[in-house]
Structure 1
Amino acid sequence: MTSEVAAALARIGELDPALCAFTEVWHENALARERAARDLPLAGLPFAVKGRTGLRSYAARRLSDAGAVPVGATSVPGPGTPWQTWGQGAHGRTVNPWRHDRTPGGSSAGSAVAVAAGMVELATGNDGAGSVRVPAAWCGVFGLKTTTGLLPSPDRTGLASPGVLASSAARAETYLRHVLDGYAPRPATLPVPAAYSPDLGFASVDPVVAEVTRGAVERLADAGVIRLVRDPVTLLDPADTWMAVRGGSTSPAARALRAANDRALDAFFARTPLLLTPVTPNTPHGHEGPGDVYSTALTWAFNLSGHPAASVPAGFTPDGCPAGLQLVTDRGTDAELLGTAMAVERVLPPPRLS
């Protein structure tokens, strides 16, 4: 009987030359780790790590201690490549598994592709502007950015939080259960009161993306997973503030904008437990880059505010590419967010590549 790790390595060998999700694959080390992990809780569950430094991350070390087996490092944007675009794997440019002429998103590009193609069910990531949620949305997998400060992060700006890309929210719970001390499941009590904002009050969203995500929200409401409430969310565009924080110098105007958005979100979550938005305002672009459109327009507000946020597959746009629905809950409610996401996936199941 073929082991899980051997099966994962075989699938990587078969698919990665075309998809270019991995920079390194650790065949012998992974098989040796699997043999040593048989009596541990995760008993040889194969997973991938983001980038060459991913094996040293807090999450990867905790998963390994629980018996999961890292099988390889996934691609991130190559040297000199704008962070908005594609990853660079050992075999070349990382491609979207649904359409090879499109980007999988960044910067956790290879992690999303590896999960979408079934090479692994779980991959680590980190999210400073949408780096987990954007590729999750465009590759049709589940992605979670954790609450800022919940898990250790080397990012001194406080924007980047550890996250996970997974074949489902239930599989992502494996990550949080073994990475976060004291984690306890929080199944959703249905219907969950939720508000849908197509643009957070400032973004310009492609009509086809808005149509797919709005349709997903309506399906959730019809199925009794959510109860839509009229609670409009209007934020100020955080682009300049995010850039200033990332650059290490903020102006009084940037600090005032960040505080205003924090107040608006604090007031919202005091009334309503769940905010829904599209993950990206656009569909996956070609490998030449997004032009003037920021695919992070709807995600980076929550890196500034520190809220946990997830991407669940919402459906497909007419060009054959996945779109994602973003779920946001109050700070520190990551377990509740996962519980809600699992209920959402019963109505919006993750797509599977043939």
Structure 2
Amino acid sequence: MVSNRLLQDCLEDFHSIMRLNMALYDRNCTCVAGEEEKVPELDIFHTFCNSAADMQALGTRYLFKVGAQEPTYILSVSGDSKDIYPMGQLAVKQLERILEMGYSREDRNQFIHNLLLDNLLPVDIVSYAKQMHIGPEFRWAVLLVEGTGCEAFDIQNILKNALSGRTSDFIAPMEENCVVVVRRLEEQEGEKEMEELAHELTDAVSVETRCRIRTSCGTIALSLKEVSRSYKEAKMALEVAAIFYKEKNVITYEELGIGRLIYQLPIPLCEMFLKEVFGDYNPSSLDEEILTTVYQFMENDLNLSETSRQLFVHRNTLVYRLEKLQKTIGLDIRKFEDAMIFKIAMMVSDYMKYLRERQL
């Protein structure tokens, strides 16, 4: 943030160069920098603040609004020079640049960090966005880049280099091995482009760190107020993918499918469902060969001939394995309904296993 001391130094420099008296007021008519003999009348000051005009002449004094859209400060300029108006405009432009530069990258990242964590009220979001000159018309995408065996600091530096040409993007660590990228979208960019970007970032970080990198994407936020929602979606996508889609390095929230549904089920309901399907049998004790056969059978749309060909086994061997599973748990995977019940039950079982391991 810009300190009042810096603003005071600026106005003193303006005075020494332009030979004009200047004072900077906030919207409450409190002088924050500079000085002048006569303070503007409150009625005139407030009327000007609430008007659409950028400047108001009061005899030998000029009032200028400082700040894009809604003004942050009011600059009062007075003196005998005939160039008082253009000089006042020049001072306003310089002050606006100083104010914009005063919001450092750390300030912006802190703002985005609080925005993601829902630590800001809607009115504060609008206020901070205006102060930092972040337009309300932009769309935003949130990506989470997580590494296994590497630290967030390393991931962040690699991402900054990969996105060095994008000064409007925000890159900040969220956890010890996870970094968030909040990207301001161009008009032509959409979900497809963000998924492509996720693949590019995943490849870039994995090549540099030689670690397993996973990247998730939330749905596009149509305003800053929706960025927090998109972040939660990206975070959920990482967690759901860790349970159900372990082979994927890039996952979007909209691709989670039934995994997202299971992830949001209450634990008692999951336990009840597993009890109904497996009874007292522990699904984690199923033979790996049987599971491989069943999953391949499902991927081939319950086609016996194609599955036996891909697994390099005789058709009768495949049937024997499926019948063995039927005797164990009572489900005939050759029937579509039983196959779906088994698939969902195994996903629920994986979810419960994940919860138990996380509690250890």
- TM-score under structure 2 length normalisation: 0.26
Higher relative helix content: 2
- TM-score under structure 1 length normalisation: 0.27
Higher-RCO chain (CA-CA 8 Å, sequence separation at least 6): 1
